[in-house]
């Protein structure tokens, strides 16, 4: 399987591990494997029990798909980058087999060979973490120039790339704040103009001339988006907020 839905690729690592995602705009849990959804607040019958949606989707994944691990493991090599031999090793490791038991199962006859395979897989994990961090940083990159400050040689207020009409602003806000500006974000866009419109809304949730700790900023932003650290960082990088060098204090820039 190589054609995974957009919802899968938009999911966080934690969501992919658990096999489902919660969508606040529709208030439902959606299986990333088959796409079935379960509405929050509904009670679902399960054998002789009654389960809430979050518990039921966990049961659904086990009953219908065995586990997220096995689903991911059986994806096409083009998606996982794993050889069939590596998949077999991972499946045996997941079941808790010792190196000797794995060696016996594969008829290798050598513990050291299996230990070498474990080492290779751990190195692959480290490389994947670095690559993931690089790609996330690349996606979060913003212009070095602050588009909201006047330059010393010009009275131009902002970079034209971020110029936006009131009508455009309202359209973007309506598209991403489906429950209204006080509700959570349906998603967070990559286009900078849309990001700026959203960040303006978020900045308005803070009080001028008041200092906030990082924890207080996180608490406010968690309500809007799971990756609150990204929102906090962009509020600073796009010039809506400032902070002390050690990140202990944040405030709105006037």
Q: Domain segments of the chain: what residues? A: 1-76, 82-141, 160-252
Reply yes or no on whether the pLDDT at 123 is more than 50.
yes
CA 201 from centroid of its chain's CA atoms? 21
Percent of the chain with pLDDT over 70: 89
pTM above the 0.75 mark?
no
Taking the CA atoms of the chain, what radius of gyration do you get in angstroms? Answer: 24
pLDDT, tens digit (0-9, with 9 covering 90-100), for 132-188 = 888 777 766 554 544 444 433 333 344 555 677 888 888 999 999 988 888 899 888
CA 19 – CA 37 distance, rounded (Å): 12
Q: Please, which pLDDT band fits residue 24 given cuts at 50, 70 and 90?
A: confident
| Tokens standing for residue 5 | 């839905």
CATH of domain 160-252: 1.10.10
Average pLDDT rounded to a whole number, residues 48-65: 94
According to CATH, the topology of domain 82-141 is Arc Repressor Mutant, subunit A (1.10.10)
Full 3-state SS string of 61-95: HHHHHCCHHHHHHCCCHHHHCCCHHHHHHHHHHHC
* Helix 99-106 × helix 111-140 angle, to 10°: 100
The three-state secondary structure class of 2 is: coil
Which of 73, 56, 70 lies closest to 20, judged by CA?
Answer: 56
CA 195 from centroid of its chain's CA atoms? 16
Residue 65 has what pLDDT?
94
Q: Do domains 82-141 and 160-252 have the same CATH topology?
A: yes
């Amino acid at each position: 399987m190589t054609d995974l839905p957009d919802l899968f690729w938009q999911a966080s690592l934690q969501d992919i591990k658990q096999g489902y995602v919660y969508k606040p705009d529709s208030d439902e849990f959606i299986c990333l494997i088959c796409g079935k959804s379960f509405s929050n607040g509904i009670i679902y019958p399960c054998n002789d029990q009654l389960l809430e949606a979050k518990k039921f989707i966990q049961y659904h994944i086990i009953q219908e798909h065995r586990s997220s691990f096995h689903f991911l493991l059986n994806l096409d090599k083009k998606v996982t980058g794993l050889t069939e031999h590596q998949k077999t090793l991972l499946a045996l490791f997941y079941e808790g087999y010792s190196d000797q038991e794995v060696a016996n199962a594969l008829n290798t006859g050598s513990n050291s060979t299996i230990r070498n395979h474990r080492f290779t897989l751990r190195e692959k994990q480290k490389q994947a973490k670095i690559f993931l961090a690089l790609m996330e940083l690349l996606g979060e990159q913003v212009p070095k120039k602050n588009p909201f400050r006047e330059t010393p040689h010009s009275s131009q207020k902002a970079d034209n790339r971020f110029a936006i009409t009131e009508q455009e602003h309202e359209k973007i806000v309506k598209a991403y704040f489906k429950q209204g500006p006080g509700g959570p974000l349906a998603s967070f866009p990559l286009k900078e103009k849309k990001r700026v419109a959203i960040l303006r809304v978020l900045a308005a949730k803070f009080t001028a001339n008041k200092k906030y700790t990082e924890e207080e900023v996180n608490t406010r932003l968690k309500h809007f988006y799971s990756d609150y650290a990204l929102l906090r960082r962009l509020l600073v990088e796009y010039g809506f907020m400032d902070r002390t060098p050690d990140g202990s204090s944040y405030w709105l820039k006037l």
